[in-house]
Amino acid sequence: MPHVRSADGTSIGYDRLSDDGDTVVLVGGGLDDGSENVPLGEHLAGAGFAVVNYRRRGRGDSGDTQPYAVEREIEDLAAVIDATRRPAHLFGASSGGALVLEAAAAGLPVGRIAVHEVPYLLTEPMVAAWRQYVTDLGRALDAGDRDEALRLFMRLAGSSDEDIAGAEAAPVWPALLDLAPTLRYDAACLGDGPPPADRLAQVAQPVLLSTGATVDPHSAGLPVDFFGAAADAAADALPDARRLTVEIAGHVADPALLAPKLAEFYRTG
């Protein structure tokens, strides 16, 4: 697997899923070791794009130089794009979408941007819950309690106690424990919670904001329009935004449904 060196020397692992066509770089979200976007990347590769999928710092075979800052993750993304030696479009899932938008606002030279279900918080109760989560998450990770960090994240995401207990008993739990420290990084990408209107106003590129028709069953504690309302609010702050609703439930979009819409968007203009 190839690697690039970020500006601070951190080694970032990535894969080229294809080499022909316009480049699309995929950016993962919370608790993703780089594998979640692979099916979407394969569909985009089949549609004629050169797809690059990388592991964000602290995940998989990528390094995790401290101290962390969102600016370091933007530098990681810049290094991955430089390695392609081509202009690149971006796709960001969930909190990875927040990172993509922060990178564009910071002036990273990229093409078109698509993000799926960025979990911005809108109402005062949800923002208050977000702030409490960030505080509690920091305490849990500082104490080395990764199990509690994962529970906090799942509760925030609308999971029931039954869902959390089931996850703890599942074979995937130890792998999630390895990724738990990166929850703090995702929280930093989302900042104070609401869409950062001042920074989004600096994004000059066209942005496609996609959401599912409703939240999936494992997020039943969230309002049914949670991601749609967040995307609408972010779209209002962006100079050149368009919305897409994929008629399925699920925070991880069905790649067979989303990829053709992304391909059409990336090829526009």
Quote the pLDDT of residue 79. Answer: 98
Range of the domain at 243: 3-122+193-267
Contacts of 42 (CB under 8 A, 6+ apart): 17, 51, 255
Q: What's the CATH number where 117 sits? A: 3.40.50.1820
Q: Do residues 151 and 232 both lie within one domain?
A: no
Q: Do residues 101 and 221 both lie within one domain?
A: yes
pLDDT digits (tens, 9 = 90+) for 57-80: 999 999 999 999 999 999 999 999
Q: Do residues 198 and 113 both lie within one domain?
A: yes
Contacts of 224 (CB under 8 A, 6+ apart): 214, 215
Q: Do residues 117 and 58 both lie within one domain?
A: yes
Q: What is the mean pLDDT of residues 157-182?
A: 96
Tell me if 115 sits within 8 A of 209, measured CB to CB: yes
Q: Do residues 23 and 60 both lie within one domain?
A: yes
Domain final residue pick, 186, 219, 240: 186
Q: Do residues 112 and 221 both lie within one domain?
A: yes
Quote the pLDDT of residue 210. Answer: 97
Residue 215 above 80 pLDDT?
no
Q: Do residues 212 and 110 both lie within one domain?
A: yes
Quote the pLDDT of residue 249. Answer: 66
Domain tally for the chain?
Answer: 2
Helices 70-84 and 95-105 cross at an angle (nearest 10°) of 80
Domain final residue pick, 186, 209, 236: 186
Q: Do residues 56 and 149 both lie within one domain?
A: no
Average model confidence (pLDDT) across the chain: 95
Domain final residue pick, 168, 186, 204: 186
Q: Do residues 137 and 260 both lie within one domain?
A: no
In the chain, the percentage of residues whose pLDDT exceeds 90 is: 89
Residue 22 above 90 pLDDT?
yes
pLDDT digits (tens, 9 = 90+) for 78-136: 999 999 988 999 999 999 999 999 999 999 999 999 999 999 999 999 999 999 999 99
Q: Do residues 136 and 227 both lie within one domain?
A: no
Q: What is the mean pLDDT of residues 1-10?
A: 96
Q: How many CA atoms lie within 13 A of 78 on its CB side?
A: 17
Q: Do residues 147 and 210 both lie within one domain?
A: no
CA distance 155 to 147: 12
What's the distance, Cα to Cα, between the start and end of the chain in Å?
A: 33
CA distance 29 to 35: 11
Q: Do residues 153 and 116 both lie within one domain?
A: no
Q: How far is CA 198 from CA 178, 201, 236, 259, in A?
A: 34, 5, 11, 30
What pairing do the DSSP bridges indicate for beta strands 50-54 and 11-16?
antiparallel
Q: How far is CA 244 from CA 47, 66, 195, 231, 235, in A?
A: 19, 37, 18, 9, 11
